Structures are given as C-alpha cells and as structure tokens.
Structure 1
Amino acid sequence: MPGTPPSPSSTPAGTAAPDATPDAAREAVVSAALAALDLDAKTRLLAGQDLWTLPALPEIGLRSLVMSDGPIGVRGVRWSADDPAVALPSPTALAATWDPGLAHRAGVLLAQEARRKGVHVLLAPTVNLHRSPLGGRHFEAYSEDPCLTGRIGTGYVRGVQSGGVATTVKHFVANDAETDRFTVDNRVGERALRELYLAPFEAIVAGARPWGIMTAYNQVNGTTMTEHRRLVGEILRGEWGFDGVNVSDWTAARDTVRALHGGLDIAMPGPDTVYGEHLARAVRSGEVDEALVDDAVRRVLRLAARVGALDGAEPAVTEPPAPVDGTALAREIARRSFVLLRNENAALPLRPGRTVALIGAAARDARVLGGGSATVFPDHVVSPLDGLTAALPDGTLTYTVGADPATELSIAEQGLDLTAVCRAADGTVLGTAPAATGLVQWVGDDLPDGVTHDRLHTVELTGTFTPRTTGTHTFGIRGIGTFTLTVDGTTHFDGHQPPADSSDPFEAAFGTPVAHAHVDLTAGTPVQVSLRHAVDPVPARPIRSVLFALAHQEPQRDPDELIAEAVEAARAADTAVVVVATTERVESEGFDREDLRLPGHQDALVEAVAAVNPDTVVVVNAGSPVELPWRERVAAILLTWFPGQEGGAALADVLTGTHEPGGRLPTTWGSLADAPVTQVVPTDGRLTYSEGVFIGYRAWERAGRTPAYPFGHGLGYTDWAYESVETDGTTVKVRVRNTGPRPGHETVQVYLAPTSADPGAPERPARWLAGFAGVDAAPGETADAVVELPRRAFEVWDESRGAWRFVKGSYEIQVGRSLTDRALTAAVNV
C-alpha cells in the first residue's frame, strides 16, 4: 500500500547513530599525557616496536598496546600451535547466519579470548565485498552485499568492544582481490565507492563507533590507501566523524611525509617503519607540521585510554560481559551458518535406523578455517567423522576415503612427535620448542625462550613420524633457503630451495611445497624424521622471521580404485554422505583463484556415488563459491563453509535433525562461465572496476543470467507461509506462519525495487536488499518480522553534485525467502 517517505536521516542502512562525543574525563587525561611528551617520544609511539606491539611510555603511565590478528579467533603474539585459540566459523559462515545478534555474541567471545591473551586490539573484521568469486580471500569477508556486510560487521564490532577490546575494521578500502595487492591501483568510480565499497565501513562507523580502522595495501584511483587524505581525512574522519586510530596493514606504509599527510596514525610493524625517527627528522626539517603528529598521537592515546592501557583514564568498559562458553558458541554459530541448498524428498534430516556411508578425505581431515593471516590454532578439531561417529548408533556408520581434495603436498600434521631445536653457529643449543605440526612459523621476536635472531643459526625439526597407512609416503619442504631432509636414517635432500616466482611474500614463503623424498613405510611403525634449516643471517622478508615446514603426502592410490570402494560402500548403505572440500592451495591469502572447480577427483566421486545411491547427501566444505556440476543428481546439498573447530559436531547436529540448518547464502553461487564479474588480474598495474555498482546479485540480474543458487537462498526443516505485509514507507511488518511439523527459524528478507523514478536518475539494480529480520515459531504459530527502511535505501550517489540524492518515485517492497523466492509485495511512493 502507499506509504509516506522515509525520514530525512541519512544514517546508513541497518544502523543507529550513537553519541559520538568522547568521554570528557578520558579526553582530559589524554590531553595531559600528550602535553608531557617530547617529539621523539611522540613519533616513537606511532611506530610499532616489533611485529605486534607499540612501545610503552612509562613517563606518562602508558603501557604497551598489543595487537593480534583475527577474525575467527585471537591468535595472540605467538603464531604457533602451542598457544591455542578458540576457532569460530569463517566470516562467510557468520554472514550466512544473517544474525547481527549472533555476530555480537561472537565478538564478545573474541574479546574474552583477547583479554585472556593480553591483547588490546583485534585486527578485524574484514568488511571488503565479494566483488568476484575468484577473490582468494573471499572466505575472510562477509558478503557481496553492503547492507548485509554492514549489519553483521556492526554486530561483531559492538560485541568485541563491549568486552573492552578495540577492533580495526579492514581493509579500507576496495581491497577485494589478492593479485598484486601490494601495488595494484584499483580504479573505482565515485558512485560504486560510495554505494558499495565504502558503505559497510560507513555503516559500522555510524552504528558501532569502532576504535580503529586498517588501511589497505592497494591504491585507489592513483593514491596508496595509507596516504589517501581524501578517503581517510575528508570522508572517514570528516564526513563520518570517525575518532579512532588508523593503522596500516603490515608493511603497507611507504613514505613518511605522505603517510602522515594522508591520515595514517600507526605504521606497523616495527621497528623499521616510516615513522619513529624518520618522522621526527621530517618534523625538524620542516617537511611536516608537528600538529599533525600531535593529532595522530592523541588518537593513539585515546585508544590506549579506551582499552585501559593509560593510567588515570577510566577504560571504556569497566565490567566485561559475562564469560562465554567458546566451544558451545562455536558449535552454535556453525550449525546456524550451514546452508541447505537442496533437499529433495526430505533426504535430511537423516531418518533414524538408517545406515550411513560417510565418504571423503575431508570427512576425516576437516578443513575448519582459511589460510593466511586468519589462521589460528585451536586446541582440538571435531571432524565430520568424529561428529557422526559420536552421534550415530554403533554399526550404522562406515567410512571410506573416496577422493582426496589435496592433490599435492601439504604441511605434515598427522602422526608427528616433533621438537624444534635451535642452535648457534658453533652447535650450541639455544632453546627448544614443541612442534604440534611440521610448521615452524616464528615471526618477529616470537622465538623460543633463550633464542635470539642474532645468535640463531639453524633450526631442526626432529622426532618421529608414525604413518597411518602403509605405502609410499612423500616428504618435502615448504620454504626458502638451505635445508637438510632426513627420513628413517637416509638424507634425501641437502641443498638450497629457491623462492617461488611471486611478488607476494605470503605466496613466496607459503607457496607450494617441493617433494624431495619418497619412502616406503608401514602403518603404525614410527620412523625418525629430521628437517634442518639454516637461517639466513640477512632476512629476505621485510619482517624478520623463521618460516618453513615439513610437508607430507599420504601414499597415493589409484583414484578409480578409491572411487570404486566408495561406490560399494554407498551401494550397501541407506544414505551416502559425501564430504567435498577446497584446500589451502585453492582458498588462502596472497593469491586469487583461477577457477571454481573442486580440486582432485571429488566431482567424479559425487557422480559415481549418486549413480548407485539415490539418497546421496553432499556436504560442501568451502569458504566461497564452488561449482557443483552434479547438483541436480543428488538428494541434498549442505554447505558448511569453513565451520571452525566444532564443525563436525555441528554437522552431526544438523544431519541427525537435533537442530535445523539456519543459514542463507550471503553471496551468489554459480558457474564461473556465467559469473558477470571475474576480472581480478590488473593490466599494467591497474584493475578497473568497470562494472560500477553491478556486482553480485545486482550483476547477475542485470546480465539476465541464472545462478545455481541465488543470494539469500537456504532451506530449513520446516515450511513457512508468508501471510501479510504492511508498510508505512519507513517500517515493513511481515507476518509469517510456521506451517511445518517442527519449530524453526526463518530469515525474512526485504528487497526494494524501483517501478518508476525521477527523470535523469542513474541506472539502478532491478532490486537491492533493504533489510532483514529473523523470527522463530513453533508449528502452527505466527511471528512478525519488523524491518526498518532507512533513507539510504532510497538514495544514490550523485557524482555530478558529490552528494547523496534521494530518488523520488514508486517502489515495490518485495518480501520473501531469497532474492528470487519473493512471496509478498507492497507499494510505496516517495
């Protein structure tokens, strides 16, 4: 029905503008501390003293601020398995819950973890958009849609900061791919910047008042983001009123004067940065005004005051939230994130008493998180095999490998009992550390007790490997430099391994392992293994570190034989559950994807199993879209993302029906051939966002293409009827009824579609997400979902005026279960 125009507020979609006035007493302490510092102390404070911390200044009662990577856990200052952390599901999974309240609870848990590890600043969340499905770090961002991204990010930031821990919303801005990420110049039109890429940041600044933001490596329209005065100074700080710190991505700051003029407060990591003594010299030579230094220092001191690291200033949070059970919350988020893409003939949940053939190497060796700087080390992982073994009655579950997604060497993880031994040049043992896997990853000063970079000459991983299968095992090395690899008394490699051909240090150091040994071993019989690495006295990377790994691959059996075994197991069972997955060589930091296919022989496995068992359920363990060429030939498809440490337990909950899958797609899933936006490789250093505002579902609809599964899609274990919709133009009220046999949760989605517009209005998408709300109801019950329509949903960025333009006209409010499953409509004239 016709409605009145939205209110004149320009607050971004899904947010409420909080009081932006800083606490006066805290600001007074900050001002006094600033006044007590000389130039050298001030400039030192703006530079990392090491990889993760800022220097303490005891003369003003300032303690060292500690930062740590997220976003699915809090790694702390040690990047190793001997400092475990709770591992939550991936950001794509969190966004798939479509529940800002659950994101808030995740943030509270992460604040609890941060405080336990002595961390003040969490380097998260990532709110870049899924511009292209080929983005290699897709799993670490929430969605292709700025409204959904902003809402989930706002909940997350509020949750973390309610625990007295700062967030740094990243990567500001247009850091949407990995290829040449350090140097690429992303050419983005002003309208696309405002309506898409800046929009989640703006929503979070307005709705959560984050205490930090991280500027990205890339350039935007010719200017490096760490020097981007217009985007940082004029928009982020000026228009939006952001009063927190701006920290560089690690090693992103390149020029002292331009960075300070561009609004960069903290240059990380240290001690070799463009700030510190370089900045002090620039002030003394007259290249920069000391007042700009003072502004940056004030923001850093404000951050310290907020997190309780500055004497005399009351922290922003004096009473942290009640303790959170991390294991239980990780399990809840996982099952709430699982998206049931297909469920023919009610194949799920599994009916009691049926036998189940569990198939897939990924069912045994679960991939629970993405690769790169988002990696944390949980103290345990529940695999699908673990979860279903615990949940199903004895004798009803069988397991076969079927196919392995890992088609190459990977970090050795199973059957190891290793110690890292550090020696000086004369052979003296400087220190040792237990090694839970074959990975040595000591970054900055994170070295074993008694070990320093200056004295460290070699690191030897030594101990035993107990194989779980008989056959020819392959061992290799991931890393750069001089290595000696010995297995079962035989030295298989003693020489230099060169760097990978890549400009990205992540890819160069963490690239594909190189095979050096093929050894016949017997299951259950341990053998001695040793990998010795001579540490380069002149580090090749900008951050001094020791990075290498012992790699391993199980004996490789004939793929057809493995599939044949799986087929026989599936034929003998009532239901076949096939777990397929991506690998770290498909989805990780430092590189983009080349295709959307599942690695290895997994597609062939699914086809073969489905051919003999009509009740085949496929579990897709991937952080971002993959092609599913067999999707019409299986009974059910359940997308579990990277589900975190409790993924297998959550999977058992959903498959057995104790809980329903609650997720809805936060991004469109389709084939690469049909995907409208696929360009992620720069040309002559530039990547042009020529598609403008048409990414994700906006682009699919504009191109007239049908994806495999649309934005917002997801099934449950009950049915819903959409009975009525009412609107006054600012609020939409939707009544739904649970018409199915069991309690359930429904995500009501509201889209706005223009039916007429002001003459001269720019081309707009066919429809866009304006809001959403989740409701719960028992069988037969009704529930009302109330969704606010913000003014911004009716606005476009007018490039000619450099301002937001409210587009008058007629709109259809479309309500439903997904972008394409729209049940009710209402008209509004504005």
Structure 2
Amino acid sequence: MAFDVDHVLAEATTEELAALVCGSGSWHTTGIPRLGVPPLRLADGPHGLRVTEQLLTQAVPATCFPTAAGLGSSWNPALLKRVGEALAHEAIALGVDVVLGPGLNIKRSPLCGRNFEYFSEDPLLSGTLSAALVYGLQSNGVGGCLKHFAVNNQETDRMRVDAVVAERTLREIYLAGFQRAVTAAAPWMVMCSYNRVNGTLASQNSWLLTDVLRGDWDYSGVVVSDWGAVYDRIAALIAGLDLEMPQAQGRAEAVAAAVEAGELSREVLEVAAERLLALTDKAASAVRPAGKIGHHDLARQAALESMVLLRNDGVLPLAPQAKVALIGAFAATPRYQGSGSSKVNPRELDRLLDTLSARCDVTYAPGFRLSGELDDDLIDEALLAAEDAEVIVACLGLPDAEEAEGFDRTHMRIPENQRALVASLSEAGKPVVVVLSNGAAVEVADWVEETSALLEAWLGGEAGALALAQVLTGEAEPSGRLTETLGLRLEDYPSALMFPGESGQVMYGEGVLVGYRGFDALEREVAFPFGFGLGYTTFRYDSLTLTDTGSVVTRDLRVAVSVTLTNTGERAGAEVVQVYVRNAPASVSRPVRELRGYTKVWLEPGETRTVIVGLGIDAFAFWSTPHERFVVESGVYAIEAGPHSRDLPLSGGLRLDVPRLPSALHDESTIAEWFADTEAMEALQARAVARTGERFALSEQMYTVVAGQPLRRFAMFPGGVLTAEDVDAVLAEYGRSV
C-alpha cells in the first residue's frame, strides 16, 4: 500500500526517522506503523535467494543458479536478464523486496576468495551483465543492489584494509562497471564495501557516496552498508550512507541524540530518510507477477552458457553410450556454489554421476579425497576403473575449504592429490577429459598437455551437472568464454607483488593494467587469453567496416562496427564477437587495447550473418586527472574484432580530430609538461623574448636532466631568460593553481 512521502517526513519524529535509517533485525528495514510505512525485507543473493530470519541459520529452499564467475562467462546480457526475472519471481514468493546482488567487483587477483561472486577482470563486461540482471529484477517489481562499492578486491583484512588507488585507475577500472550499471539500470540500492578507499572507510567516504555516485552519476536510490560495515553512524550519514544494516545496538538512539545535540542536522537525516521512504513507497506500489519457486531448467540453460571449453583434441563430444571412466569426488559430491553469505539451499541438485550414467556406460571411482590427503589406493582404484573405458572423464577442482568468502587463496594450484591423479591417469593410455569445478582461476599450464580436453565448468549451480552431461555428450554446445585471463603462473599477474598488501594497506601499483591489459602491456604469454573459448563448430571472420556519426566535440559520437561472421562447421553454435579498441598514442600511458563492445550470436551450419557492435565516445576516452574528467585525444584508433583478445583478425582505423584540451598547467608543472603545451609555452617564450631578446632553450642533454623539474622553480635560478613572474603571468591566463 502506497503512502505519501512528504506527509511522512513532515509528521515523523526525529526518533522515528533515526530508527528508519538504522534497520531492524538482520534482514528488515524499520517501518513507521503509525504513518503507514511498512518495513522492507532484504535477502542475499547474487545467484539465488538465501532467505533466513537470522544471519547464520539454514535458508529456505530456492533455485541455485551458477555463480557470477559462470554467469559472466556466458557473455550474454539476455540470459542475465532472464536470471534476474527468475530471481524476482522467487523473491516475490518469499516476500523479499530487495535482492542483495549482483556483485561486480573487478577480479584484480585470481587469489581473491570471493572471485566466484564476481563477473570479470573487465569493467565493461561486469557493468553490462550487472545492468541486465538488475533490469530483470526491477522490471518485475523487486529491487537490485549493486555491491560492493568500491574497490573490494580481496578478503584479507577486508573489514579495514586501505586500498590505495589513483583516481584514474578508479575511474577507468574499479568504478567504471558500477557507473555503467548505475546509469543503465538505476538499481534500487548500492551497497558500500567494508574497506577503506584512499584512507577513508567506504561507509564514510563522501567522495565515493556523494561526489561520484550521486553527483557525477546522478544516482537517486538508497546507499546501504554491507552488514557490519559502519563504524561511525553519524559520519556515515553525513557522507551519504542512508541505511545501516543489520540493526546495531543503540544506533538509532545515537542518531536521534546527535540531532538533538546539534552534532547532526535534521536536514541530513531527512535526506537519508526521504530516500528510504521513496524506495519503500516504490516497493509497496510495485506491480508484481505471481511468485514462483523453482527455475531448474533456466539454471541448466545458464550453466550450459557458462561452460568454457579450453582444449579439445577431438575427444569431445563423447560418442553415444561411450564407455566412460568417471573419476573424481566432485562427480558424486558436486561443487556447485561458493561458501559465505551467498550460499543457497537448492531445491534440486543434479550429480554428474547420475546425469552422465543416463547417457553413457559409466564406471565410477572417487580418485581423491576432498580433504586433500594423497591416497594411492584411490588412484589405483581409478586406474582400475579406466582399464575397460574408452575415455576418462576426471572431475577436478577446488574444495570449499580452499576458496570462500572471508579468506584469500595463497596459490593458484589445484590440490596436490588431484595433480597426482591427473599424472597417473595420463599414463593409462586413454584420452583424459578434465572437468574443473572452481570459482576462481587455477594454474593449468603444468598439466594441461596431459589431457585431451579441458572444460572449465566453474560453479554451475543446482543444474550444472545436467548441463555438463549434455555438453560432454554433444546434446548441447559449450558456448562460454573466459572473462578473466588464465596466466601461466601466479607470478605473471600484474598485481602479484602487491596483493594482498601489508600493515593494513594494499597498493594498486599496477594502475589500469589489470588482467589482460597488464598481460598485453608486459607482453607475457598466457595459458588461455581473456575472451577465449572453443565450441563444437568453427567460425570465420570477414570484412570489418566502420560507420561513424556525430562527433567527439558534441559528445554524440557513435561508431557501428560491422563484421561478417560465418559458421564454417557442421554443427550449430554460438560465437561471441568481441570488439577492442587499440588506443592511439596519448599524453598518458594507456593499455594496448581494451574491450569496448561485444555480442553473442547463434549461427546454423554454413550460415553467414552481418554482426553489428556499437561503440560510443567512451570507447576512446581516458580519465584525465589534471582536467578531472574523461577526455578523448586526437589520433588514429584501431578497432579490432575477433574471437578473443589475442586473436583479432579484423581491424579498421578511425581517425578522431579533437580540439586541444584546455591547459592544465599549474605552478608545479614540469618543464616537459610546459613544452607539451604548445600554446602556453609560446606565450611564455614571447615574454622571455620581450624582456631579454632570447627564447628559453635547452640542449638535448640538459633537457633530459631537467625535464622532470617544475619550471617555476627552475625559473627562480639567477641568470636565466625566464623568471617566476613570467611563469605566474602565463599561468594566470592559461593554467590553474595547484
């Protein structure tokens, strides 16, 4: 039932408004019954509803979809929208108003214990997929909540660690996905993270919560804390955090007392309360479909699109009724989701032992202990099971104990007992198909050559085993693509030397060179590149054409990238056409190339289609710290298309001519920066000539020595043709003060 927000604000007492912004119990907001304001019910999670009354109690049954690591690998926003719709239907059935998801933090390091909850190392992919899921939720009257804002890229010391990140890196990488999802989908809520960002807790960070989120992105929804993230409720309110969750003892009373004492203005409290009331009114007024629990078939479809075939020597798909030695404890005890706040109590749960046995002649052996101890007897049993088999399917991966919310991994290896099993199976003289069940990247380079096929199944949800059996036998196509680079070894990752930090601080020293951006900049070989994935058919890329309209100056530049794609195989299949922009030389160091668009298409055998991917002005922009905004510089940009980041057979050039940016010189600008600003430098030279008859000049050797020195300080030395007064005069016309 709807209510009048303005009336409630006018009539509510300070104590009622203070209670409103502090939550009730573990999962509800606080209502104002006498004014007709109901409480809202919130619930995890990103890949399935976790509805409980208390924080750690067993959840009611709900559909468990693949985790975000898998859903992201679908590269399919339409699928994410359908998953969002299904989550909304289940939320309605369970009386939930806002679902606490999706999570879209960047996969900075493969060691992050919560990577299974996140989509990608790339912000474009994370942002578009998150927006689609939120749209699916909210188009059915249930709110979405983006999390964790921001720079929550590790579990180590997560409640207090200070993430030290340059603003350009924040804007281009760690905030960019949130910006895309916020502006495209208008989520009802955004959840702040636990950590500090550049010295200030996210819950008290007015630059993040107010300047960027509300000022730059025009967000009008509710900012909610992660559970237990608020240290100082008054400071958090002032910074822009509207709702603290869960209920904390004495918080509401403290807020009311702060207003009474003049430490917190009633206006600040009313702003937060108004946002919560508007959201509550929206939820109460929403037109919702009938609720429904149970979306097993959609969970299966999502798992199908999540699986990434990394290697196939022709052994897959399996022949009908093939004699299969099914090896590995995960075949009987599936690893289908991660542990922590997102853990779902599934309504159904498929096992590969059952689903593959219905399609093939299967002999099963566990092969290894989930606890990690090496057991030679189990390996011997596995070899015995393989004797009469035509092919071995080994189900490997990471047990719950090795990756979960709350801690980070210390290495990328699969357990040693599984590594020993692979080595033994590879000597059995039979093709070995390895299926991985894991939420984050693992090292495969030292054993992949011992396999005939490698299938990354991620954490596939309740129907993952059914989807897996269909992929293995060719009933369905593996159509997933990697959303993160699989490096040869942990040491190759750009963040390796700085993760997870020390003494309460983690430095993001690799800057914007995260994931494939860093591997490309360092020219490092990888096991499998970003965007990679095989199928049971093949595709040919032909004739890229570019059509541009608008301009950078008018901020309406649009580029249509047209690619001719042909299915050259004998089976229908899906291909993800990926478009990258190879950046023109710029005034700052930029990544070699960046993903700027993509689309997933399904083609029948022999079918040819023209695929069009649209790019906007943001595809060519970078964050200019001196100008405090995104800018585009003149130059020729190569627009590349292909199946993954290191196979881009098509390329076309686009020249952009952009007016010179306003000068960003200041009194600390270096000699090199002055020489780069031709107009301001000429004005400075004119003053020098007018006074001394000479231009300011440096030999090549001297320039090399002093280029990094602030010009104003250099001009203060006696005997030169420039003076500090000259510099100040030109700065007054062309520059800005520090």
**2:104 equivalent in structure 1:** 127
Matched, 1:401 2:229: no
Matched, 1:154 2:154: no
**2:585 equivalent in structure 1:** 757
For residues 588 and 273 of structure 1, the distance between their equivalents in structure 2, rounded to whole angstroms, comes to: 32
How far did 1:383 drift? Answer: 1.5
How far did 1:819 drift? Answer: 0.5
Contact 1:108 1:321 in 2 (8 A): no
**1:682 equivalent in structure 2:** 501
**1:292 equivalent in structure 2:** 268
Could you state the TM-score of these two structures normalised by the residue count of structure 2?
Answer: 0.85
Aligned mate of 1:673, from 482, 491, 505:
491
Contact 1:129 1:146 in 2 (8 A): yes
CA shift digits 1:719-738 (9 cap, x unpaired): 11112211114111111011
Contact 2:495 2:508 in 1 (8 A): no
User: Structure 1 340/321 Cα, relative in aligned 2: closer, same or farther at 3 Å?
Assistant: farther
For residues 58 and 354 of structure 2, the distance between their equivalents in structure 1, rounded to whole angstroms, comes to: 21
Question: Any idea what SS the aligned residue of 1:741 has?
Answer: coil
CA shift digits 1:541-560 (9 cap, x unpaired): xxxxxxxxxxxxxxxxx611
Matched, 1:742 2:576: no
User: Hey, which of these two has a bigger chunk of strand by percent?
Assistant: 1
Bigger Rg, structure 1 or 2: 2
**1:796 equivalent in structure 2:** 622
**2:82 equivalent in structure 1:** 105
**1:305 equivalent in structure 2:** 281
Could you state the TM-score of these two structures normalised by the residue count of structure 1?
Answer: 0.76
User: Hey, which of these two has a bigger chunk of helix by percent?
Assistant: 2
Matched, 1:363 2:331: yes
For residues 203 and 585 of structure 1, the distance between their equivalents in structure 2, rounded to whole angstroms, comes to: 34
Aligned mate of 2:479, from 662, 669, 677:
662
For residues 505 and 589 of structure 2, the distance between their equivalents in structure 1, rounded to whole angstroms, comes to: 25
Contact 1:814 1:826 in 2 (8 A): yes
For residues 324 and 239 of structure 2, the distance between their equivalents in structure 1, rounded to whole angstroms, comes to: 60
**1:702 equivalent in structure 2:** 521
CA shift digits 1:290-323 (9 cap, x unpaired): 0011100010011111111xxxxx32xx143896
Contact 2:23 2:247 in 1 (8 A): yes
Matched, 1:786 2:609: no
- Give the letter for the 1:775 counterpart: V
- Give the letter for the 1:402 counterpart: G
Aligned mate of 1:636, from 434, 453, 462:
453
Contact 1:47 1:273 in 2 (8 A): no
Question: Any idea what SS the aligned residue of 2:401 has?
Answer: coil
User: Structure 1 160/273 Cα, relative in aligned 2: closer, same or farther at 3 Å?
Assistant: farther
Matched, 1:144 2:121: yes
Matched, 1:713 2:532: yes
- Give the letter for the 2:520 counterpart: E
- Give the letter for the 1:682 counterpart: G
Contact 1:162 1:321 in 2 (8 A): no
Aligned mate of 1:827, from 640, 646, 653:
653
How far did 1:289 drift? Answer: 0.8
| Map 1:478-557 → 2, pairs under 5 A | none
How far did 1:614 drift? Answer: 3.9
CA shift digits 1:57-90 (9 cap, x unpaired): 1222111111111011111134544611110001
Matched, 1:807 2:624: no
CA shift digits 1:407-459 (9 cap, x unpaired): 38xxxxxxxxxxxxxxxxxxxxxxxxxxxxxxxxxxxxxxxxxxxxxxxxxxx
Aligned mate of 2:560, from 728, 731, 735:
731
Matched, 1:610 2:423: no
**2:699 equivalent in structure 1:** none
For residues 51 and 808 of structure 1, the distance between their equivalents in structure 2, rounded to whole angstroms, comes to: 53
- Give the letter for the 1:332 counterpart: Q
**1:165 equivalent in structure 2:** 142
Contact 1:362 1:404 in 2 (8 A): no
How far did 1:810 drift? Answer: 0.6
Contact 2:68 2:119 in 1 (8 A): yes
For residues 140 and 93 of structure 1, the distance between their equivalents in structure 2, rounded to whole angstroms, comes to: 9
User: Structure 1 134/328 Cα, relative in aligned 2: closer, same or farther at 3 Å?
Assistant: same
CA shift digits 1:249-274 (9 cap, x unpaired): 11111113211111010111114263
- Give the letter for the 2:426 counterpart: A
Contact 1:797 1:803 in 2 (8 A): yes
For residues 615 and 324 of structure 1, the distance between their equivalents in structure 2, rounded to whole angstroms, comes to: 41
How far did 1:404 drift? Answer: 2.4
- Give the letter for the 1:306 counterpart: K
User: Structure 1 291/84 Cα, relative in aligned 2: closer, same or farther at 3 Å?
Assistant: same
**1:598 equivalent in structure 2:** 414
- Give the letter for the 1:651 counterpart: L
**2:24 equivalent in structure 1:** 49
CA shift digits 1:305-356 (9 cap, x unpaired): 1111xxxxx32xx143896861000000001110000011x21110124210
Question: Any idea what SS the aligned residue of 1:617 has?
Answer: strand
**2:703 equivalent in structure 1:** none
For residues 566 and 354 of structure 2, the distance between their equivalents in structure 1, rounded to whole angstroms, comes to: 37
- Give the letter for the 1:705 counterpart: R
For residues 648 and 526 of structure 2, the distance between their equivalents in structure 1, rounded to whole angstroms, comes to: 16
Matched, 1:265 2:233: no
Matched, 1:338 2:155: no
Specify which structure has the bigger relative contact order, considering alpha-carbon pairs within 8 angstroms and separated by 6 or more residues: 1
How far did 1:219 drift? Answer: 0.4
Contact 2:89 2:291 in 1 (8 A): no
Contact 1:135 1:680 in 2 (8 A): no
For residues 733 and 76 of structure 1, the distance between their equivalents in structure 2, rounded to whole angstroms, comes to: 46
For residues 305 and 642 of structure 1, the distance between their equivalents in structure 2, rounded to whole angstroms, comes to: 37
Contact 2:577 2:599 in 1 (8 A): yes
Question: Any idea what SS the aligned residue of 2:4 has?
Answer: helix
Which stretches in structure 2 are left out of the alignment for 5+ residues?
A: 549-558, 657-738
- Give the letter for the 2:4 counterpart: V
Aligned mate of 2:191, from 199, 214, 236:
214
For residues 135 and 50 of structure 1, the distance between their equivalents in structure 2, rounded to whole angstroms, comes to: 30
**2:554 equivalent in structure 1:** none
Matched, 1:185 2:162: yes
How far did 1:757 drift? Answer: 2.9
For residues 770 and 247 of structure 1, the distance between their equivalents in structure 2, rounded to whole angstroms, comes to: 31
**1:203 equivalent in structure 2:** 180
Which stretches in structure 1 are left out of the alignment for 5+ residues?
A: 1-24, 309-313, 409-557
**1:559 equivalent in structure 2:** 375
Contact 2:90 2:291 in 1 (8 A): no
Question: Any idea what SS the aligned residue of 1:728 has?
Answer: strand
Question: Any idea what SS the aligned residue of 1:780 has?
Answer: coil
User: Structure 1 44/690 Cα, relative in aligned 2: closer, same or farther at 3 Å?
Assistant: same
Contact 1:775 1:784 in 2 (8 A): no
Aligned-CA RMSD value: 1.6
For residues 429 and 159 of structure 2, the distance between their equivalents in structure 1, rounded to whole angstroms, comes to: 49
How far did 1:635 drift? Answer: 0.6
Question: Any idea what SS the aligned residue of 1:399 has?
Answer: strand
Question: Any idea what SS the aligned residue of 2:499 has?
Answer: coil
- Give the letter for the 1:685 counterpart: G
**2:346 equivalent in structure 1:** 378
Contact 1:173 1:198 in 2 (8 A): yes
**1:491 equivalent in structure 2:** none
For residues 82 and 686 of structure 1, the distance between their equivalents in structure 2, rounded to whole angstroms, comes to: 35
| Map 1:277-288 → 2, pairs under 5 A | 277-288=253-264
CA shift digits 1:345-391 (9 cap, x unpaired): x2111012421000001111011100111111112211211211223
For residues 229 and 58 of structure 2, the distance between their equivalents in structure 1, rounded to whole angstroms, comes to: 27
Question: Any idea what SS the aligned residue of 2:528 has?
Answer: coil
For residues 49 and 813 of structure 1, the distance between their equivalents in structure 2, rounded to whole angstroms, comes to: 52
- Give the letter for the 1:278 counterpart: A
Aligned length, in residue pairs:
641
Contact 1:67 1:77 in 2 (8 A): no
**2:37 equivalent in structure 1:** 62
